[in-house]
Amino acid sequence: MDATITSLASRTRVAAASADVDTATAEYHALLQRLSEASVDKHFQAFKDIPWDSPEFRVDPQDPRFVLGEVDEIGAHPWYQSLPLERQIEIGRYRYAQIAKVGLQFEQLLIAGVMNHLVWARNGNPAFRYAMHEVTEETHHIQMFQEGVNRLGGDAAGAPTYFKLLFPLLSSAGAWFPALFFTGILAGEEPIDHLQKSIMRHGGSHPMVDRIMQIHIAEEARHISFAHEWLKHEARTMGPVQRAAFSVLFPLTMRVLCDVIMVPSRQARRDMGIPRSVAREIWWSSEPSSRLLRGMFGDVRMLADELGIRGPVTKRLWRLLGIDGRPSRFRAEPTRLSA
């Protein structure tokens, strides 16, 4: 009798777990459908939805609206604030162009990696459709960013040389370790999204720059949501060894690629004339810059907790990397609330 009761209880638990998985999968597929429909209903085109030749979009090299505000880590530093207005404007224009250039190079990596991933997709996989919507939107982001760079001038240096050399290897992760690749996508998307939202919340900049950021923020919300949900869906299938490796690689990937996005390359720093001592303070040795770095990762910490990969041991790694802290309570929670 005891054996029969135990067997029934075991089968009940298995059935309940299976039902939970089925429910989670159904909810995931429903989300993908909503995201796909949203991409059809509301999307932007680089040369249709931005009035590039509008008089208000003209780039005046002396326009004070290019001065960086304190939400930008360069703009917040006393070195920058002590410069003559003309130099602040010049550096500000270059800074916006540099962020856009690195952003479009990340989008190119995203497209390449997604193609490497989707070539293995099975027929009927609903993630295929949304991923292709995202790729379509990213091609417009690339065109939008590059046109902005061209008009801002200054010949922005873009990503570091090592990133461009590693591009083929990084994009191949879409096939051989998709979870790590999607983590890399978030590592590129989350910091630039955080910065752009902060700039817009504090009044924005030049109208052309603002319009580019508005479009990117609107569509990036879907892309980030997809990456979050894809990782949560796939994490359930990881074995113990893969999960252990992922729990270590997740914060490392976030930290390394955050620097590619947020820290100007050596050439870009030379172009802007930022002294080495100032650069060390800005990224990320001073307390204000360390606080900014931690603030970028509130949503990522929330995701890691949902994935179950930020345990007592790995939290030490997060702390060592300077990206630990309280997780966000909801997606896109402003830093002032989540600090």
Per-position DSSP letters for 173-233, written without gaps between them:
HHHH-HHHHHHHHHHHHHHHHHHHHHHHHTT-SSHHHHHHHHHHHHHHHHHHHHHHHHHHH
Give me 309's structure tokens: 């990969």
Amino acid residing at 58: R
The confidence score (pLDDT) of residue 338 equals 43
Q: For 256-276, what is each residue's pLDDT tens digit?
A: 999 999 999 999 999 999 999
pTM of this prediction? 0.89
Averaged pLDDT, 189-200: 91
Does the pLDDT value for residue 14 go beyond 60?
A: no
Confidence of residue 17 (pLDDT cuts 50, 70, 90): very low
What does residue 280 show for φ and ψ, rounded to 5 degrees? -65, -35
CB distance 102 to 119 below 8 Å? no
The confidence score (pLDDT) of residue 101 equals 96
Q: What is the number of other CB atoms lying within 10 angstroms of the CB of residue 137? A: 22
Residue that is written with structure tokens 């949203």 in the block:
38
- The CA distance from 67 to 143, in Å, is 25
In whole angstroms, how large is the CA radius of gyration of the chain?
A: 22
Averaged pLDDT, 95-111: 96
Q: Show Cβ contacts of residue 36 under 8 Å, excluding neighbours closer than 6 positions.
A: 126, 129, 130, 133
**Alpha-carbon dihedral angle through residues 311, 314, 318, 320, given to the nearest 10 degrees:** 140
Q: For 107-154, what is each residue's pLDDT tens digit?
A: 999 999 999 999 999 999 999 999 999 999 999 999 999 999 999 987
Does the pLDDT value for residue 90 go beyond 80?
A: yes
What does residue 336 show for φ and ψ, rounded to 5 degrees? -65, -20
Q: What is the mean pLDDT of the chain?
A: 91
Domain ranges of the chain: 58-338
Does the pLDDT value for residue 337 go beyond 80?
A: no
Kindly provide the b/e burial profile for residues 271-288, where b requires at least 16 CB atoms within 10 angstroms of the residue's own CB: bbebeeebbebbbbeeee
The confidence score (pLDDT) of residue 3 equals 56
Q: Which CATH architecture has domain 58-338?
A: Orthogonal Bundle (1.10)
